[in-house]
Amino acid sequence: MSERGPAARALRVLHVGKFYPPHKGGMETHLRDLCERLARDIEVGVVVAAGGGDSLEETQNGVRVARVGTRLRVGATSFCPGTARRIRESGADLVHLHWPNPAAVISFLASRWRGPAVLTWHSDVVRQRVSGGAFAPVLERFLARCGAIIATSPDYAASSPVLRRHRSRCHVIPLGVDASKFERADERAARDVRERYGPRIVLGVGRMIYYKGFAHLVRAMRGVDARLLLIGSGPLRAELEALRDELSLGGRVRFLGEVPDAAPYFAAADVFALPSVARSEAFGIVQLEAMACGVPVVNTRLDSGVPFVSPDGVSGLTVPPADAPALAAAINRLLADPGLRARLGAAGKRRVAQEFSADLMAERILRLYRDVLRSAGEDGDSHEHA
């Protein structure tokens, strides 16, 4: 990050998210990667839900993390009454929330926080009732309080009905990854993966839930002479395993569950597939992880940020969603053409370095904080917002 100095060191920012690592998930990984980089220049605190009823405070790599005890769960939403007090008493200059998270919005409004707020809009709400239509007036009230709204891609900013209503305050800042974690993948471990599952490996990574579209990828493997490795867990795993058995794919589709380090699997793969079928897949950060390893991506033509991250013909191939034959054709095209794989993989690696690094993401967000504080008449040194 490039902006340093006394003002940056004095700035205090509180992030309010759902969970924080070691809890797994794309939002959680993003929150950690962003906050650890911001903590090099400013004071950063994080408030998230705890796994149970007890609260816990700790410091991870310079980031103060408060895990607040959960009192109620409605679907995927954890309600933690202590969050409002944490916001109110934080002494922060600015509060940064991450959506979707209706409980955080309620806590923010209940806290009567008077200072500036920023929101990262990770995704529209597609299915969840608790944060759907009935919650819309509450969300609109909160959005009216935000000094800036971060959209992770121009595609999502243009296609989201909510973001279109607040276009004047939307700022596009793509998510970023620490590419070095994947560039430094354990070569011996990657070789072991290839020796065990190769020579032709297709990789899929993510939670086994409806919008990931893994059923279409499993079906596509009927026409692909390769082995599909699926990393992740979720409520649809048993259903997907049953589909594999029904299609007599046997050892050609392997469910690996959670793995301690996915980098060697990315490094060993010939093709990475993201077969998502709904705009709940707003960005697809796992594409960046594959691209950082120089692996070409097959993704789907959603009206979200997915094709923006890996454009068709640039760092991979894009096919219609929920189309197993099209997935198979794209995967086969890449497997049959080593030169195309190498060209797309190299372009993806450059794209991550130039546009999607975690350092660049944090630098852009820090700059936005300062703009918001200036617009709000703040100087970054006052913490009297309680």
Q: What is the CATH number of the domain that holds 161?
A: 3.40.50.2000
Convert the pLDDT of each residue in 126-164 to its tens digit. Answer: 765 444 577 899 999 999 999 999 999 999 999 999 999
What pLDDT is attached to residue 73? Answer: 61
Convert the pLDDT of each residue in 103-118 to its tens digit. Answer: 999 999 999 999 999 9
Is 60 exceeded by the pLDDT of residue 38? yes
Is 80 exceeded by the pLDDT of residue 308? yes
Alpha-carbon dihedral 111, 58, 120, 23, rounded to 10 degrees: -120
- Same-domain pairing of 112 and 258: no
What pLDDT is attached to residue 128? Answer: 53
- Same-domain pairing of 232 and 334: yes
- Same-domain pairing of 59 and 104: yes
What pLDDT is attached to residue 378? Answer: 47
Single out the residue of 27, 16, 137, 130 nearest to residue 73, CA to CA: 130
- Same-domain pairing of 337 and 363: no
Instruction: Give the 3-state secondary structure of residue 104.
Output: helix
Q: Count up the domains in the chain and report the number.
A: 2
Residue 381 lies inside a defined structural domain of this protein = no
- Same-domain pairing of 293 and 252: yes
More reliable by pLDDT, 16 or 3: 16
Residue 35 lies inside a defined structural domain of this protein = yes
Ranges assigned E (strand) in the chain: 12-16, 43-49, 56-60, 63-68, 72-74, 77-79, 94-99, 117-121, 148-151, 170-172, 201-205, 227-231, 253-257, 271-273, 297-300, 316-319
Residue 74 banded pLDDT, cuts 50, 70, 90:
low
- Same-domain pairing of 198 and 165: no
Determine the structural domain holding residue 121 and report its residue range. 6-176+357-375
More reliable by pLDDT, 154 or 73: 154
Residue 150 lies inside a defined structural domain of this protein = yes
- Same-domain pairing of 121 and 75: yes
User: Residues 235-242: what's their mean pLDDT?
Assistant: 98
What pLDDT is attached to residue 9? Answer: 43
